[in-house]
Structure 1
Amino acid sequence: MFLGNTEVEAPKGTEVVKDAVRKLKFQRHIKKSEGQKTPKVELQISIYGVKILDSKTKDVQHNCQLHRISFCADDKTDKRIFTFICKDSESNKHLCFVFDSEKCAEEITLTIGQAFDLAYKKFLESGGKDVETRKQIGTLQKRVRHVGIRLRLRSTECPF
């Protein structure tokens, strides 16, 4: 389920994410009490980004380019919650996207981390000739290292 997105003040950080999760959970509680349902979505994760699709109509609700994602994390206390922070291309504001997954959120977080790794490998294979990829490579390298280290540390936390 997609709890929504909210503007955050910083591009990364566990406290930033925790505040966004609290805010959106509270909003979900209010909507639930008013009889509104939390929308179900599908995620398409690729080396280009994360697309959030309406689960019924398959309409794209959000298209977050990979190079604009600055932070990705799952919640250690609630294994169903995962988040990522993405810089909006139009407003240049950082938005935190929050999801409540029926499956283990850590697996989804790991998949986004793998997308960063694959995008970097694609760049290396192209010999740096892909101009668009070259623009994004510095950012991707930092994120692959940052996300990769954090995700490896969490890899034992999710029971199967």
Structure 2
Amino acid sequence: MQEPLLEGIGFTLKYLGMTLVEKPKGEDMAANAIRRIIAMARVGAKKFQKVILTVSPRGISLQDAETKEMIECVSIYRISYCTTDKLQNKVFAYVAQSQQSGALECHAFLSPKKKIAQAVTLTVAQAFQVALDHWEAAQAGSVQEQSHPECTLESNKPGSTSEPSPVPTGSTPFKHHFEDDDDDEEDDDLDEAFSGLCLPHTRRQLVHHALTTELGPTWRAPDTAG
């Protein structure tokens, strides 16, 4: 899994929108943010942008699926939370700190089916773990070994400027709760799936990840032209 992940694993999704949040993580926070995003999207009644969301140990990149234009690169260090929504289980969302303003932003995406949303969330968690492993290996080695071709590592612990709470030794950098669901689901049309997002659902949450930002590499996105 690590080799394709290092190069980046892409998912084609529809971007629903963004809203500001006050907390870096939390299931209730994310659920409320997703509801706000859906409400705003329905009011706007516009065609949703199809994007290619690529996950790697450096972070998440967003690219327009039609024009191939790079929209945004989000450092894995800035991502504090990702989830597949409990009720709207085709919706994947992540919370990240804006590099420009420092505000916490929740971004939501609609997938064709819930298993894809689940796969995105799992992939982000795996990317975080790989990045953390690289960072810890660099800290254990010499100064000369602190660079990795996939990650730009710093000698200081990432996040030290924001004075985060330390993570106890041996603790996992994310929480993983997974529930098997053997029911196969048809690949619903994205627009049809979205039209039912505000209807009540009884299915339980498939995947939930709380990612901490105390550990992990700082991603310096390469300069892009155009």
TM range (shorter): 0.7 to 0.9
**Displacement, 1:135?**
2.7
**Root mean square deviation, CA, Å:** 2.4
Q: Secondary structure at the match of 1:2?
A: strand
Q: Secondary structure at the match of 2:54?
A: strand
TM-score when normalising by structure 1: 0.83
Correspondences of 1:21-36 after superposition (within 5 Å): 21-32=34-45, 36=46
Aligned residue in 1 for 2:7: none
- The answer (yes or no) to whether the contact 2:21–2:29 under 8 Å persists in 1 is yes
Aligned residue in 1 for 2:25: 12
Sequence identity of aligned pairs in percent?
28
Distance, in Å, in 2 between the alignment partners of 1:21 and 1:124 is 34
Q: Judging changes above 3 Å, is the alpha-carbon distance between structure 1 residues 124 and 100 closer, same or farther for their aligned structure 2 residues?
A: same
Q: Quick check: 1:74 aligned with 2:91?
A: no
Alignment counterpart, residue 47 of structure 2, candidates 29, 37, 54: 37
Distance, in Å, in 2 between the alignment partners of 1:75 and 1:26 is 15
Q: Secondary structure at the match of 2:62?
A: strand
Correspondences of 1:1-160 after superposition (within 5 Å): 1-32=14-45, 36-103=46-113, 104=115, 105-126=117-138, 127-128=140-141, 129=143, 130=146, 131-132=153-154, 134-136=156-158, 142=167, 145-147=172-174, 149=175, 151=176, 153-157=177-181, 159=183
Report the residue type matching 2:103 in the other structure: K
Report the residue type matching 1:45 in the other structure: V
TM-score when normalising by structure 2: 0.60
Report the residue type matching 1:145 in the other structure: T
* Greater share of residues in helix: 1
Structure (1 or 2) with the larger CA radius of gyration: 2
Q: Secondary structure at the match of 2:101?
A: coil
Distance, in Å, in 2 between the alignment partners of 1:21 and 1:100 is 11
- The answer (yes or no) to whether the contact 1:11–1:70 under 8 Å persists in 2 is yes
Q: Secondary structure at the match of 1:136?
A: coil
**Displacement, 1:124?**
3.5
Aligned residue in 1 for 2:196: none
Q: Judging changes above 3 Å, is the alpha-carbon distance between structure 1 residues 107 and 5 closer, same or farther for their aligned structure 2 residues?
A: same
Distance, in Å, in 1 between the alignment partners of 2:122 and 2:30 is 17
Q: Judging changes above 3 Å, is the alpha-carbon distance between structure 1 residues 158 and 110 closer, same or farther for their aligned structure 2 residues?
A: farther
Q: Secondary structure at the match of 1:119?
A: helix
- The answer (yes or no) to whether the contact 1:11–1:86 under 8 Å persists in 2 is yes
Higher relative contact order, structure no. (Cα contacts within 8 Å, ≥ 6 residues apart) = 2
Q: Judging changes above 3 Å, is the alpha-carbon distance between structure 1 residues 60 and 155 closer, same or farther for their aligned structure 2 residues?
A: farther
Q: Secondary structure at the match of 1:116?
A: helix
**Displacement, 1:133?**
6.8
Distance, in Å, in 2 between the alignment partners of 1:77 and 1:48 is 29
**Displacement, 1:30?**
1.5
Distance, in Å, in 1 between the alignment partners of 2:42 and 2:70 is 25
- Number of matched residues? 152
